[in-house]
């Protein structure tokens, strides 16, 4: 638990509204970002966050402090978001994140990048299509956001938690209830998809006759 | 270390989540692997770019106000172990009533005195149907005590041994308050029935005892319970 999460959590159990407001502000950016990784719509993401805090009030006494408050909070958030998305799509909440419950994705088959000996089976991402200065340019922000939004839910959530919100691998695995090897595969697949999408964008952009359109075209 | 092992750790490598020995292993692999160097460089650029993304995600003021209002509303209700106090008190009241009822019920069972079994005889031998005017002094009333009893009934003369139905009712035409079935046997030249009757809860008053050989009509005898 963060240094003063513990004292804030204790204070909110007793109804201290200023401590609660501090805790809300502390996790506001991360919570809304993770909620948006699920539901995308800003208004619904905010509702998910509100429902999460309501669930926190009701469950705070049951919080055993075996994990950090942060991990517990985001587990609750992901449950609420999964429930919300399943209500809208009429699917089981588990179907969005339960990759451990399904046939475990084999890193070789899932990534299709490595041969049986663990060497690169295909050429890794080529380095000449996504110039660093291009990636760091302001206009690329929009493209990176779009690329992240285009990822499948699991990959979008794992990338958001890890690279955008700074969660440790252990925290991501605890929050998403996944195993470490599945986490690694999801991260690899997500980065690969992001590369491919951004490469297509920069390839289009570098064509002198290309229209100033930012959306990539399907091959 | 294989290329796969290195590549699957690339994100953690740049985020600083690996141990020094894991970093050293990956560095050693990268020195000898051109493809992985290329992959890691691309991964670094991508992660750097994601780190540069502005963190613009915030709640609307309306949502923030609602979250705080929810907190206030939740804590404005007095609670016991997270449950509204009124709900806890209501549940406790219901449980207390149930507990008192159970205690009273158990106490009643425990304090109820055992009822003694009395041995009672009803003699119907001279109360069979007679032809012609009935002679002799009036017969005494048949009396049963308000008790649990082992009842012996001497059936009227002329009754054959066999299976008999018996019942006791308050008024003719109303359902019996007790009924039973017993085998009548000849004992000392009397057709006798033995049967258990629990009458300790009956009210005192006039009753009728119905007797019927299996398949025959019922004969009723007036009876007093006291």
Tokens of A125: 């991402």
Taking a contact as any Cβ pair under 8 Å apart, which residues of chain B between 7 and 26 contact chain A? Answer: 7-12, 15, 17
Q: Could B38 and A195 be called an inter-chain contact, meaning their C-beta atoms sit closer than 8 Å?
A: no
Task: Identify the weakest region by mean pLDDT among A121-135, A198-212, B145-159, B207-221.
Answer: A121-135
User: Which stretches of chain A drop beneath a pLDDT of 50?
Assistant: 1, 92-93, 96, 99-101, 103-110, 128-129, 210, 215-219
Torsion angle (degrees, nearest 10) of CA A39, A41, A42, A47: -60
How many residues does the structure list for chain A? 219
B74 vs A contacts (CB less than 8 Å):
54, 57-58
Q: What are phi and psi of B186, to 5 degrees?
A: -85, 120
Instruction: Look at residue B125 and tell me whether its pLDDT is greater than 70.
Output: yes
A126 vs B contacts (CB less than 8 Å):
38
Q: Measure CB to CB from residue A117 to each of B2, B9, B52 and give the nearest one.
A: B2
All structural domains of chain A: 5-96 (1.10.1740.10), 98-206 (1.10.10.10)
> What is d(CA B45, CA A146) in angstroms, rounded to the nearest whole number?
17
Q: Could A24 and B64 be called an inter-chain contact, meaning their C-beta atoms sit closer than 8 Å?
A: yes
Using the Cβ of B43 and the Cβ atoms of chain A, whether some distance falls under 8 Å is answered with yes
Biggest CA pair distance of chain B: 135
Instruction: Work out the minimum CA distance from B79 to partner chain A, whole angstroms.
Output: 11
Q: Could A29 and B57 be called an inter-chain contact, meaning their C-beta atoms sit closer than 8 Å?
A: yes
- What secondary structure, in 3-state letters, does chain A show? CCCCHHHHHHHHHCCCHHHHHHHHHHHHHHHHHHHHHHHCCHHHHHHHHHHHHHHHHHHHHHCCCCCCHHHHHHHHHHHHHHHHHHHHHCCCCHHHHCCCCCCCCCHHHHHCCECCCCCECCCCCCCCCCCHHHHHCHHHHHHHHHHHHCCCHHHHHHHHHHHHCCCCHHHHHHHHCCCHHHHHHHHHHHHHHHHHHHHHHHHHHHCCCCCCCCCCCCC
Q: Is residue A172 within 8 Å of residue A163, measured between CB atoms?
A: no
Instruction: Work out the minimum CA distance from B14 to partner chain A, whole angstroms.
Output: 10
Residue A188: closest CA among A170, A205, A167, A169:
A169
Q: Which chain B residue has its CA at the smallest distance from A53's CA?
A: B67
Q: Measure CB to CB from residue B71 to each of A57, A136, A148 and give the nearest one.
A: A57
Residue A184: closest CA among B185, B6, B197, B121:
B6
The predicted structure's pLDDT at residue A101: 47
pLDDT digits over A116-166, tens only?
A: 777 777 666 655 445 555 565 667 788 888 899 888 888 999 999 999 999
In which order are the strands placed within the sheet that holds B190-198?
Answer: B117-123, B148-154, B190-198, B178-187, B162-169, B205-213, B219-225, B143-144
Both ends of chain A: CA-CA distance in Å?
48
A107 vs B contacts (CB less than 8 Å):
4, 8
Q: What are phi and psi of B66, to 5 degrees?
A: -65, -40
Q: How far is CA A38 from CA A80, A94, A175, A193, B60, in A?
A: 10, 13, 14, 18, 18
Q: Measure CB to CB from residue B68 to each of A17, A140, A141 and give the nearest one.
A: A17
Write the DSSP string, B133-158: S--SSPPPPPEE-SSEEEEEEEPPTT
Q: Could B11 and A120 be called an inter-chain contact, meaning their C-beta atoms sit closer than 8 Å?
A: no
The predicted structure's pLDDT at residue B95: 94
Q: What average pLDDT does range B199-215 have in this prediction?
A: 89
Instruction: Work out the minimum CA distance from A210 to partner chain B, whole angstroms.
Output: 24
Q: Could A28 and B68 be called an inter-chain contact, meaning their C-beta atoms sit closer than 8 Å?
A: no
Q: What average pLDDT does range B116-138 have in this prediction?
A: 77
Residue B95: how many CA atoms within 13 Å on its side-chain side? Answer: 6
Q: Could A118 and B60 be called an inter-chain contact, meaning their C-beta atoms sit closer than 8 Å?
A: no
> What is d(CA B144, CA B124) in angstroms, rounded to the nearest whole number?
13
């Amino acid at each position: 638990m963060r240094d003063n999460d513990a004292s804030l959590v204790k204070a909110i159990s007793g109804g201290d509204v200023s401590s609660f407001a501090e805790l809300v502000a502390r996790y506001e950016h991360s919570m809304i970002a993770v909620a948006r990784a699920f539901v995308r719509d800003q208004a619904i993401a905010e509702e998910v966050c509100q429902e999460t805090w309501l669930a926190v009030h009701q469950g705070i006494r049951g919080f055993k402090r075996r994990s950090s408050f942060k991990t517990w909070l985001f587990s609750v958030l992901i449950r609420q978001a999964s429930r919300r998305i399943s209500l809208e799509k009429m699917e089981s909440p588990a179907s969005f994140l339960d990759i451990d419950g399904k046939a475990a994705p084999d890193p070789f088959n899932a990534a299709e990048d490595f041969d049986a000996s663990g060497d690169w089976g295909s050429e890794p991402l080529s380095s000449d299509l996504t110039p660093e200065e291009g990636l760091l340019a302001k206009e690329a922000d929009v493209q990176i956001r779009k690329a992240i939004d285009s990822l499948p839910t699991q990959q979008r959530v794992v990338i958001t938690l890890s690279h955008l919100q700074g969660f440790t691998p252990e925290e991501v695995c605890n929050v998403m209830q996944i195993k470490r090897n599945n986490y690694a595969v999801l991260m690899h697949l997500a980065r690969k998809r992001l590369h491919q999408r951004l490469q297509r964008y920069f390839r289009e952009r570098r064509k002198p006759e290309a229209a100033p359109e930012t959306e990539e075209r399907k091959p | 270390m294989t290329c796969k092992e290195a590549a699957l750790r690339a994100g953690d490598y740049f985020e600083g989540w690996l141990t020094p020995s894991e970093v050293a292993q990956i560095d050693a692999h990268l020195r000898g692997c051109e493809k992985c160097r290329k992959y890691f460089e691309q991964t670094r650029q991508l992660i750097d770019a994601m780190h540069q993304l502005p963190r613009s995600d915030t709640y609307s003021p309306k949502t923030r106000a609602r979250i705080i209002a929810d907190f206030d509303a939740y804590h404005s209700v007095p609670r016991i172990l997270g449950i509204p106090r009124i709900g806890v008190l209501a549940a406790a009241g219901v449980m207390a009533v149930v507990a008192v009822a159970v205690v009273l019920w158990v106490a009643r069972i425990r304090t109820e005195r055992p009822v003694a079994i009395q041995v009672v005889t009803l003699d119907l031998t001279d109360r069979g149907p007679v032809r012609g005017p009935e002679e002799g002094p009036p017969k005494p009333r048949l009396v049963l005590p308000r008790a649990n009893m082992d009842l012996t009934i001497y059936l009227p003369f002329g009754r054959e041994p066999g299976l008999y139905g018996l019942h006791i009712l308050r008024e003719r035409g109303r359902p019996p308050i007790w009924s039973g079935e017993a085998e009548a046997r000849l004992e000392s030249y009397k057709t006798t029935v033995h049967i258990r009757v629990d009458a300790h809860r009956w009210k005192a008053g006039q009753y009728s005892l119905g007797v019927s050989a299996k398949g025959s009509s019922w004969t009723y005898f007036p009876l007093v319970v006291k």
